[in-house]
Amino acid sequence: MTWLILVAVFGLSVAQHNPHLKHGRTSIVHLFEWRWADIAAECERFLGPYGYGGVQISPPSEHIVLDNPWRAWYQRYQPIGYKLCSRSGSEAELSDMITRCNNVGVNIYVDAVINHMCGSGGGEGTHSSCGSWFSASKQDFPSVPYSSQDFNNNKCHTSNGEINNYGDPNEVRNCRLVGLLDLALEKDYVRGKVAEYMNKLIDMGVAGFRVDAVKHMWPGDLQNVYGRLHNLNTKWFSNGSRPFIYQEVIDLGGEAISAREYFHLGRVTEFKYGAKLGTVIRKWNGEKLSYTRNWGEGWGFMPNGDAFVFVDNHDNKRGHGAGGASIVTFWDPRLYKMAVGYMLAHPYGVTRVMSSYRWDRNFVNGKDQNDWIGPPSNSDGSTKPVTINADLTCGNGWVCEHRWRQIYNMVKFRNVVNGQPHSNWWDNQSNQVAFGRGNRGFIIFNNDDWDLDVTLNTGMPGGTYCDVISGLKENGTCTGKQIQVGGDGRAHFKISSRDEDPFVAIHAESKL
Ligand code: QV4
Ligand code: CA
């Protein structure tokens, strides 16, 4: 009996940590600001065939439309209701996308903005993505409906109603984050409306949620909301599957609120991961790749089973949020490919690959004045479609990091080595390191300014393998470097410090 209760309690607490990825897939990709129609096509033509397990989509809820700055990307983090028409498309297009992605085994995870509505200075009228009327000044959002009683006005005790001191948990949870009208999630009514929104998406077939601004919500309120969520749609998921929940909490240490407070509710974003990996890859603060022998919990990161990891996200790549200085992004492609390769080879955490659009940066005193610029758009403000070039890359200003060979091949690597232990570590006490994943894969990096030339035990069965960084296995032949593994598992590696990509990766399915 006690055992049964323990199972029930423990079962509940771990249920929302499982991303329900299918067909042995292990990574998701954030298709930031993509249109639903483009994501549907991408699931069928690329993500399914290349082994991606899921997509994080931009917030699908009705949002404010900003004129100043013009159609900033962050308008979607200012909901004005829960109708499902947004900059990415209509409810019908959203629904079609969810169905088509699920049908090729690619899950959809929704970015859920439930801490707040639009900014207090958001005005009044119908300048919203579905044209619903709202008034920010009266705190009136009739399409939900929410009225001023549904916001944390009296519960916030700061003079300007905003969060000024991150050292005070009451302030962080009950006051306004950059002026955003803060929902009273302790109210049964508000909890019900938020859960109704999320349940509608679950019933349509999504696999879970990236929950926005979780630091700004009380764990108890979230527990209540998550507890109201339906099981996943049995058309695509097994009976009794709970939605995957990964919660955005920026915890770099030193604040009153810690990531730990949310572990029992779902996974949590580990922001130390990208900040530290960027520092190591850039060789800042005397960091070296050889110090990553105990990467993961050994570096003070959260427990593996709670962690959701990424090299960069839509905020810290453009200086929003916190801890952005060391973050590597597509703007530094050589370092970026190594960082993403390292993340995908390493067993720690559930991994997310970023996919971006390009914008014109304009740094003044180290701050990008154009950090607000939205996705590639037509003059009427509509988002440009993602076009695909013959070499698999994207056009129209879309970067599509997830389509870079070095990155999609490492997504496949992670699938192939899934469940295998971190093994056969080697380093030169500097920035040359190598490690394997049991007998299924092996990766080696040269981030030093001199050449690497070494023979190592890979743990792999003997044979000729194709390096999936410099090329790939195509019709039984290799378009890149070939690596000979002897019957004893040993292989010779040479990586020039001037190579376009100074790392090599082989896995069981790249064997020729
Ligand atoms: C401004 C002033 C306020 C004033 C207000 C008056 O700064 O002092 O009270 O006007 O209305 C935008 C503007 C911001 C503006 C605000 C409200 O940048 O200047 O306030 O709108 O009008 C994104 C952007 C924000 C943007 C917000 C809403 O990053 O710049 O604010 O969307 O459009 C913390 C949090 C963490 C958060 C991170 C950025 O703990 O949760 O900051 N990250 C998530 C998302 C992020 C999003 C939000 C949270 C909010 O990943 O993209 O913020 O939903 O670390
Ligand atoms: Ca709040």
Give residue-wise pLDDT tens across range 127-162.
Answer: 999 999 999 999 999 999 999 999 999 999 999 999
Task: Say whether both 244 and 377 belong to one domain.
Answer: yes
Residues 74, 80: Cα–Cα separation, whole Å: 13
Average of per-residue pLDDT across 356-370 = 97
Residues 222 and 353 grouped into a single domain:
yes
Are 317 and 375 members of one domain? yes
pLDDT digits (tens, 9 = 90+) for 249-274: 999 999 999 999 999 999 999 999 99
Nearest CA to ligand 1 atom 40: 213
Q: What is the mean pLDDT of residues 420-440?
A: 98
Q: Is residue 370 part of a domain?
A: yes
Q: Do both 62 and 163 map to the same domain? A: no
> Which pLDDT belongs to residue 145?
98
Catalytic residue among 33, 38, 212, 448: 212
DSSP 8-class letter at 257:
S
CA distance 309 to 346: 11
**Is the CB of residue 173 below 6 angstroms from any atom belonging to ligand 1?**
no
Under a CB-based contact definition with an 8 Å cutoff, are residues 497 and 430 in contact?
no
Report which ligand 1 atom has the smallest distance to the Cα of 322. Answer: 55
**φ, ψ for residue 106, nearest 5 deg:** -105, 120
Give me the pLDDT at residue 236, please.
Answer: 98
Specify whether 220 is located in the same domain as 347. yes
388, 417, 446: which is the final residue of a domain? 417
Q: What confidence tier does 14 reach under pLDDT thresholds 50, 70, 90? A: low
Using the atom order of ligand 1, give the atom closest to the CA of residue 248.
41
**Residue 227 in contact with residue 198, Cβ under 8 Å?**
no
d(CA 356, CA 334): 16
Mean pLDDT of 62-69: 98
Q: Verify that 315 and 464 share a domain, yes or no.
A: no
Q: What is the mean pLDDT of the chain?
A: 96
Alpha carbon of 401 to ligand 1 centroid (Å): 26
Cβ-contact 148, 141 below 8 angstroms: no
Residue with tokens 């659009």: 357
> Binning pLDDT at 50, 70 and 90, where does residue 211 land?
very high
**Which domain covers residue 441, as residue numbers?**
422-507
Residue 510 in this model has a pLDDT that exceeds 60 = yes
Mean pLDDT of 198-216: 98
Statement: residue 95 has pLDDT above 90: yes
- Residue nearest atom 36 of ligand 1, based on CA coordinates: 213
| pLDDT at residue 11 in the model | 47
Q: Are strands 116-119 and 180-182 parallel, antiparallel or unpaired?
A: antiparallel
Known catalytic residue at 248: yes
pLDDT for 13 equals 52
Examine residue 194 and state whether it is found in any structural domain, yes or no: no
In a domain, 81, yes or no: yes
Radius of gyration from C-alpha coordinates of the chain: 23
| DSSP strand pairing (350-355 vs 307-309) | parallel
The single-letter DSSP state of residue 302 is: P
Q: Is residue 368 part of a domain?
A: yes
Final residue in a domain of this structure, among 359, 387, 417 = 417
Q: Assess contact for 76 and 128: CB atoms under 8 A.
A: no
Distance of alpha carbon 264 from alpha carbon 231, whole angstroms: 18
Q: How many structural domains is the chain composed of?
A: 3
Q: Which residue stretches of 371-460 are H helix? A: 405-416
230 falls in which pLDDT band (50, 70, 90)? very high
The pLDDT, as a whole number, for residue 195 is 98
**Mutation probe of ligand 1 site: the residue of 159, 164, 317, 320 with most atoms within 8 A of C-beta:** 320
Q: Which residue stretches of 61-175 are H helix?
A: 91-103, 169-174
pLDDT of residue 7: 42
Residue 189 CA to ligand 2 centre (angstroms): 16
| Mean pLDDT to the nearest integer, 411-437 | 98
The confidence score (pLDDT) of residue 299 equals 98
Same domain, 344 and 355: yes
Position 323 scores a pLDDT of 83
Please report whether residue 257 resides in a domain. yes
Residues 344 and 413: beta-carbon distance below 8 Å: yes
User: Which of these is catalytic: 38, 62, 248, 401?
Assistant: 248
Residue 52, pLDDT > 50, answer: yes
Query: Same structural domain for residues 294 and 396?
Result: yes
Same domain, 237 and 338: yes
Q: Looking at the predicted structure, is the pLDDT value of residue 200 above 90? A: yes
- Concerning whether 467 is annotated as a catalytic residue, the answer is no
Torsion over CA: 412, 42, 209, 30 (sign): positive
* Tokens describing residue 436: 């394997």
Whose alpha carbon is nearest atom 24 of ligand 1?
A: 74
Q: Whose CA is nearest to atom 34 of ligand 1?
A: 321
Same domain, 413 and 464: no
Does 376 score more than 70 pLDDT?
Answer: yes
Residue 365 lies in a domain: yes
Query: Is 296 inside any structural domain?
Result: yes
Confidence of residue 1 (pLDDT cuts 50, 70, 90): very low
Verify that 79 and 154 share a domain, yes or no. Answer: no
Same domain? For 214 and 255 the reply is: yes
| Residue 512 falls inside a structural domain | no
CATH code at 485?
2.60.40.1180
Q: Which residue has the tokens 């091949």?
A: 409
For helices 333-345 and 271-282, give the axis angle rounded to 10 degrees.
130
In order, the DSSP letters of 91-121 are HHHHHHHHHHHHHTT-EEEEEE--SEEEETT
Q: What is the pLDDT of residue 15?
A: 77
pLDDT at 3: 44
**Range 285-290 average pLDDT:** 98
Query: pLDDT band for position 429 (50/70/90)?
Result: very high
